[in-house]
Amino acid sequence: ILADEIHLYTHIQGAQIGYGLRRLLARCALNGAAPIAVGMSATLGRPAHVWQQLVGGGEPLLIDPRSNERRRNPKGREYFYFVQPEVESRNRDVAGASTTIQAAMALSHNMPRRHGDEGGFRGIVFVDSIDKLKRLHGNYMDAEEGQNLASLRTRLYPDHPATGQPRRQCCGDPLGCDLFRDGECWIFAATDQRQRTASGLYVAGNPLTVARFPVYSGSTAQIETEIQRSDLVFSTASLEVGYDDPDMAFVYQHYAPTNLASFVQRKGRGGRGNDDRPVTGVTLSIYSSRDTWYYRRPTALLDSRGFEVPLNLANPIVSRGQLATLILDLVARRDGLGLPAARADGSPDPAIVTEFAETCAKLFDEDPFLRLGYTGAEAFLTDLHGRFGGFKDDEWAHERRARVAWVPKTLFGATDMPNVGIRVPVHGGNPIIRSEDITLGLSAAAPGNATRRWGATEVHWRAPRQGGAPFLNAQEEADAENIELGSADDIMAELPIDAREDIGEYALAGTVLRPTALSVDLIGLLRGGAWTPIVEWDTQSSTAKLIPDNVDPKAALDIRSTGVLRGFPTLRSDRDAVSVDTGTLAPIVAEIGAYVGSSTRGSGLHIARLYWGADAEVRIVDQADAIGVSQTFTDAKGEQAQFVGYAMESEGVRFSLRSDAVDQFLDAEMVRLAGAPAEQRWHRNQMLRYVVQRRSRNAGINGYEARRAAELVVTAADNPALSVDLAKLLKMWSDTALGNLFKRTYREALSS
């Protein structure tokens, strides 16, 4: 058995795959000696440890290149670019996506574009979200092929400032060129006669060819053919492994990857030849603490040797499902051999009970039954029989499998999280129902969020409403599951300040609604970068309405409209945690408690994610300023404030830090920062940004507008010429003076 790229076997799906491999090996061993199990990865620090976690057994034999088998190649190079926009909140959409478009275009046009033994010319842009992938692909295709923006820096230069004569080719003298100094001339793309593209030699002023569709798990077109005709491909993790292209020389990652080993694998798609010099670029968001951490420590993105695969094969739900699957394996084997698997009443035959117990002892590292609350294998099978019925001789294997609900149906999904059905309208067809993980479904269906997640050309949303308004319609509310988290007063006591102020005078409903079904509306079609809206925004009533046929809309919705839910987590426990030895964490951790459950006894740790409202930024076609909409959720009748969300019982760990260790760290950090004024200023600005944004929200300002206000305040505070006026405001407040300061800050510091 050969398993490649084992660094991808993580989380729930990793545990499911691990047990699947163990079951396969055990099944083979019933017929004789078990086969050799080989796991491969080029990006793990402890591959043998990970492989043993997955397949069990003794210590694996590690085979890796010896030091004398490694050869340095002075010709080979890797180039890395880490890009973080200083400001993402300008009047126009200069956000992380725009940064990626500009950086990817500059790098792909100017890198050495060769063919064959000389290198490669093709590039790939990785995006982890399907919705963002489709958006980024469409916007990049419009910038590259629709507007041909690269031609403005390779051929269609501005007229000469002194003579007024047109300039249609690069002067070739970067040191004395005003355009080159301003970044408006791409000298390598404009002058290198050996540059290649998928269609032949590179011609300055011509666009590169972008793959007509992005690659993701739902792609159905001829992917390989499309890639070969393209210079740049957009993809999720679908092309991360198993795709080798000798012409791939450029890799770009949009925002920090969730898995370091995965990122190392992605950048390895470029530069397959020993002498190649691949280029890797990464956009890191200024609003993500994780992205900012990597931007300040970029080498941490390049070395995955310390990466530990998040893998928990002791997960009780996974273990229970795999035990149920194992007994089905054994029943199928005995059916094939003509051996009895069940008694007349359908209960397991004693022989298969013994075989099941012996196989479990080999498959699981520890006794799985005690962990699940059973006395042994027979007790587990008795419970299984009582819940799902017996094993009939005349039943097909797939029917038996479908009947046992504990058997896992999918690899990639949370085992303990509910789903929500999204009713998606299809242009020219009947609506379809898409089942989504509750967290992903609620996020994508946030009011005001235009998403391409559920359509190839269709764009959907749920219309936002200003002020108090229902999130769920009457039917969705009736279908929703009621979650009891205590009385309305109990819930109110856990609310953050901004939630209490948003709810205001509304009475609070005593139950939380967990949606089981949501519907979205079709707002437009995106074909080849051309946006065709079918919904417009009524600014008078702050509502969306269909655009009448043969009527030019005054406020057609733009695809860039976005929305986010406003919510918070709650955590409570109904029993004490089991004390765990602090071990090597003793210098910084005072105590550790674990909450561990079984299939018959919960962990005692209850987690809920509650949403009380949403912030939306409605954008109108050909209109620069966005329209902020803040909604507080009510019940369908509009009478009470209504939380929506979900709850689950989870295993977890609670720990408390030693206060003396925290004090010691903070004292040392303050001393260190005193000698690093630039870093100290950065930390202060981050704190100021957080305080302004948080308190702006508490004052009822839309979240997107609060973020802009925070950016303006931080910029003014960090600018000597502007900070004086900001200090005056703190002494004597004036709305007019604040508005003038914001305009001046934008004009002098942010709009250049």
Domain membership of residue 168 (yes or no) is: no
pLDDT category, 751, cuts 50, 70, 90?
low
Residue 642 has a pLDDT of 94
Residue 126 has a pLDDT of 95
Same domain, 358 and 425: no
Closest listed residue to residue 140, CA positions, set 210, 197, 206, 85: 210
Between 273 and 592, the more confident residue is 592
Mean pLDDT of 60-78: 85
The token pair that represents 108 in the structure block: 């792909």
Residue 87 has a pLDDT of 59
Same domain, 456 and 337: no
Residue 167 has a pLDDT of 86
Mean pLDDT of 383-408: 88
Query: Is it the case that residue 260 has pLDDT exceeding 90?
Result: no
Provide the percentage of residues in the chain whose pLDDT is more than 70. 96
Query: Is it the case that residue 195 has pLDDT exceeding 90?
Result: yes
Mean pLDDT of 441-447: 95
Residue 271 has a pLDDT of 82
Contacts of 585 (CB under 8 A, 6+ apart): 592, 655
Query: Which domain-ending residue is among 71, 91, 118?
Result: 71
Same domain, 393 and 540: no
Mean pLDDT of 512-522: 96
> Mind giving me the DSSP string for 308-330?
-----TT-HHHHHHHHHHHHHHH
Same domain, 381 and 321: yes
Q: Dihedral, CA atoms, 633, 638, 643, 644, nearest 10 degrees?
A: -80
The token pair that represents 421 in the structure block: 């059905």
Write the CA distances from 278 to 248, 251, 263, 299, integer angstroms: 8, 8, 15, 17
Mean pLDDT of 554-569: 92
Task: Specify whether the CB–CB gap between 614 and 579 falls below 8 A.
Answer: no
Rounded-to-integer distance, Cα 411 and Cα 14, Å: 8
Query: Which domain-ending residue is among 359, 386, 413?
Result: 413
Query: Which domain-ending residue is among 71, 89, 121?
Result: 71
Note down the domain range covering 472.
Answer: 419-656
pLDDT category, 91, cuts 50, 70, 90?
very low
Same domain, 323 and 383: yes
pLDDT category, 413, cuts 50, 70, 90?
low
Residue 88 has a pLDDT of 45
Residue 217 has a pLDDT of 78
Same domain, 492 and 638: yes
Same domain, 240 and 99: yes
Partner residues linked to 648 by β-bridges: 607
Q: Give strand ranges (E) for 596-741.
A: 605-618, 627-634, 640-641, 644-649, 652-657
Residue 93 has a pLDDT of 44
Mean pLDDT of all residues belonging to the chain: 88
pLDDT category, 600, cuts 50, 70, 90?
low
Query: Is it the case that residue 155 has pLDDT exceeding 50?
Result: yes
CATH number of domain containing 107: 3.40.50.300
pLDDT category, 471, cuts 50, 70, 90?
very high
Domain membership of residue 386 (yes or no) is: yes
Domain membership of residue 179 (yes or no) is: no
Rounded-to-integer distance, Cα 29 and Cα 35, Å: 8
Rounded-to-integer distance, Cα 86 and Cα 84, Å: 6
Residue 317 has a pLDDT of 83
Q: What angle do CA 218, 24, 344 make, to 5 degrees?
A: 105
CB atoms within 10 A of CB 366: 10
Task: Specify whether the CB–CB gap between 297 and 382 falls below 8 A.
Answer: no
Residue 162 has a pLDDT of 78
DSSP character at residue 342: B
Q: Give strand ranges (E) for 216-340.
A: 232-235, 248-254, 279-283
Query: Is it the case that residue 752 has pLDDT exceeding 90?
Result: no
pLDDT category, 373, cuts 50, 70, 90?
confident
Query: Is it the case that residue 390 has pLDDT exceeding 80?
Result: yes
Same domain, 124 and 88: yes
Provide the percentage of residues in the chain whose pLDDT is more than 90. 49
Domain membership of residue 593 (yes or no) is: yes
Query: Is it the case that residue 364 has pLDDT exceeding 80?
Result: yes
Tell me which of 23-27, 78-82, 106-110, 297-301 is least confident.
Answer: 297-301
Domain membership of residue 173 (yes or no) is: no
Mean pLDDT of 477-488: 90
Between 182 and 350, the more confident residue is 350
pLDDT category, 90, cuts 50, 70, 90?
very low
Mean pLDDT of 118-135: 91
Domain membership of residue 111 (yes or no) is: yes
Rounded-to-integer distance, Cα 500 and Cα 494, Å: 10
CB atoms within 10 A of CB 448: 27
Rounded-to-integer distance, Cα 45 and Cα 396, Å: 44
> Mind giving me the DSSP string for 396-451?
-HHHHHHH-TTS---SSS-TT--EEEEEE--TTS--EEEEEEHHHHHHHT-BT--B
Tell me which of 52-61, 91-100, 714-723 is least confident.
Answer: 91-100
Same domain, 635 and 615: yes
Q: Dihedral, CA atoms, 109, 115, 120, 125, nearest 10 degrees?
A: 60
Mean pLDDT of 645-649: 90
Same domain, 13 and 97: no
What total of structural domains would you count in the chain? 5
Residue 151 has a pLDDT of 93
44-52, long-range: CB < 8 A, 24+ apart = 44/6, 44/7, 44/261, 44/304, 44/305, 44/307, 44/309, 45/304, 45/305, 45/306, 45/307, 45/308, 46/308, 47/6, 50/6, 50/7, 50/9, 50/309, 50/311, 51/6
The token pair that represents 742 in the structure block: 């914001």
Same domain, 465 and 568: yes
Residue 598 has a pLDDT of 67
Would you say how long the chain is, in residues?
Answer: 752
Query: Is it the case that residue 658 has pLDDT exceeding 50?
Result: yes
Task: Specify whether the CB–CB gap between 618 and 537 falls below 8 A.
Answer: yes
Same domain, 624 and 709: no
Residue 553 has a pLDDT of 87
Between 136 and 410, the more confident residue is 136
Task: Specify whether the CB–CB gap between 311 and 14 falls below 8 A.
Answer: yes
Residue 250 has a pLDDT of 95
Helices then strands, counting H and E runs in the chain, come out as 24, 29
Task: Specify whether the CB–CB gap between 234 and 272 falls below 8 A.
Answer: no
Residue 89 has a pLDDT of 45
Between 646 and 117, the more confident residue is 646
